[in-house]
Amino acid sequence: MMHYSNWLIGVKNRASIRNACKTPDTEWSNRGHVLDMQNNNPQANRKTSELAVSTHLCQRGYKVIKRIGEGTFSVVMKTQSLKDGKFYACKTMKQTINSLEQANNLREVQAMKRLSPHTNIIQLHELIFDKETGTLSLICELMEMNIYEFIQGRQTPLPDTTVRLYMYQLCKSLAHMHRCGIFHRDVKPENILIKQDVLKLGDFGSCRSVYSKPPHTEYISTRWYRAPECLLTDGYYSLKMDIWSAGCVFFEIISLNPLFPGTNELDQVSKIHDVLGTPDRSLLQKFKQSRAMRFDFPPKRGSGISRLIPNCPAPALSLLYQMLAYDPDERITAEAALHHTYFREIRLAEKRAETLLRTVGTVDGGEGGGTRNSLDQIWRPVRHGRQVRGRHARQTPLMSHNIKHTAEPLMRRNLPHYAAELPKLNMVAPGPQIPYPVSTLPALTITHRGTLPAITSKKCHPRLAKPRDESHRSALKTYYMPPLDRKRGGY
């Protein structure tokens, strides 16, 4: 218990130092929001004004419509392009930028360029830099709302199909990020944007390369979604922290309430142990290696996640436990989560859609639909001969058939399938040859002068048939067959 008290004192001392250095932010304080001190600029709010932002955006062809939100390091506004009339989200940094090169070297800009394009990643449309004021604005695609706004004040739970669809897209965005060598470090409902049924991950200001060596920034991520390795170590964490945060978001979408709403770091650890239980000593040894002081936790069994959401389907609960594994080494990866049983129906629907797109792309001569795929389309009815057996085969030459199929693919798709085979030739196979008595046939001598005379059947048939019949009759012999006696009605 003494070690636990020392650990509590150390946590409070580090928290007090950080709170003294950070800029107060009342907007996100109730959501457990914390600051990343690497980009904190106390003078940013004074230098950035809406009038200056509107002026330099108007000069670049964008009209400010309204303010969408404001965070610690940026202001987000809805803008309209004066060129095409489309609406975009403009994220203006409060930090002063000295040059365009520095703007392009920002982590958020680099990450968005590397991750683009992807269906579930916010697309960067344009980068606007004002050299006179040092203001940088990111013109991004505009979404309807974020997950927090979507579930805020909702009384009835979301349909399981909606939850499954959103979580599948979130796992796809994280899998894409991790494959590209980047992990987000601040996955939370406010940074997950939706537009109808499409989900996109945004706000890459805290992202980091997966190849960077720890220790990383210790005071990172929003507290409610911070993984245990971020709370219990001095910055020794990896991309698995994104999976823990996604698991917390998963629970919040299902239950409409946060899973671990800690008021401080100690309370955050305590709430995690209340649900998952106190980890074993062997697991805690991994975390102790990176922290100077020793600490012990009071043993807790944990209530379990299933008691908090009793109506949760079993596949969803299974994935939730795997995403919220206390040990990061045992935590599921984003790529493996996509292949979980919970997403089976979505995967099957995706495969059907991909097959349809490949078929349409092949017929339209799209990308990847070369000669080979075209030939596959032509010969597909032949491969399924049983299905077209009995149907009328079009008697068309092969060359003209292929040209017509290639030139009119869409029209042919709606027509019944015909076997694209060569027309069969009606040829009679020669039978067994019978020796003919040629010697009995009289020689036919015809004299003509330049043209052959017409031969009538009256003169040929009687003369040829008579000697042939007589020759056969002379070769035959007569035999006598005695009659058979009938016995009891039979033979």
User: Distance between CA 310 and CA 441 in Å, rounded?
Assistant: 104
In the chain, domain spans: 60-142, 146-345
The DSSP symbol for 329 reads T
* Most confident segment among 183-192, 216-225, 383-392: 183-192
pLDDT higher than threshold 80 for residue 314? yes
pLDDT average, residue stretch 192-216: 93
pLDDT average, residue stretch 13-41: 43
Neighbours of 277 (CB within 10 A): 15
pLDDT average, residue stretch 311-318: 95
User: Distance between CA 22 and CA 15 in Å, rounded?
Assistant: 11
3-class secondary-structure state, position 69:
strand
Q: What is the pLDDT of residues 130-154, one digit of tens each?
A: 888 889 999 999 999 999 999 998 9
pLDDT higher than threshold 60 for residue 414? no
2 sits in which H/E element: helix 2-21
Q: What is the pLDDT of residues 345-371, one digit of tens each?
A: 999 999 999 899 888 876 665 544 444
Q: What is the pLDDT of residues 428-437, one digit of tens each?
A: 445 555 454 5
CA atoms within a 13 Å half-sphere pointing along the CA-CB vector of 219: 19
DSSP symbols for 7-64:
HHHHHHHHHHHHHHHSPP-TTTGGGT----TTS--TTHHHH--HHHHHHHHHHTTEEE
User: Distance between CA 202 and CA 125 in Å, rounded?
Assistant: 14
The one catalytic residue in 130, 186, 203, 242 is 186
Confidence (pLDDT) at 398: 38
89 sits in which H/E element: strand 87-93
pTM more than 0.95: no
The DSSP symbol for 130 reads E
pLDDT average, residue stretch 206-227: 88
User: Distance between CA 403 and CA 422 in Å, rounded?
Assistant: 15
pLDDT higher than threshold 50 for residue 76? yes
Confidence (pLDDT) at 31: 61
- Identify the residue with better confidence: 325 or 374: 325
* Most confident segment among 56-70, 77-91, 391-405, 418-432: 77-91
Long-range residue pairs from 109-117, CB within 8 A, at least 24 positions apart, any chain: 109/138, 111/182, 111/204, 111/207, 112/138, 112/140, 112/204, 114/180, 114/182, 115/176, 115/177, 115/180, 115/182, 115/204
pLDDT higher than threshold 50 for residue 408? no
* % of the chain with per-residue pLDDT over 90: 46
Average pLDDT along the chain? 76
Range 60-142 has CATH code 3.30.200.20: yes
3-class secondary-structure state, position 115:
helix
Rg (CA), the chain: 41
Confidence (pLDDT) at 482: 62
pLDDT average, residue stretch 74-100: 92
Q: What is the pLDDT of residues 232-291, one digit of tens each?
A: 888 889 999 999 999 999 999 999 999 999 999 889 999 999 999 999 888 888 887 655
The topology (CATH level 3) of 146-345 is Transferase(Phosphotransferase); domain 1 (1.10.510)
Confidence (pLDDT) at 363: 63
Q: Is 186 annotated as catalytic?
A: yes
Q: Is 91 known as a binding-site position?
A: yes
The partner residues of 81 in beta bridges, in order of sequence, read 62
Neighbours of 267 (CB within 10 A): 13
pLDDT average, residue stretch 412-431: 47
pLDDT higher than threshold 70 for residue 462? no
pLDDT higher than threshold 70 for residue 53? yes
Choose among 317, 240, 303, 315: nearest CA to 272. Answer: 303
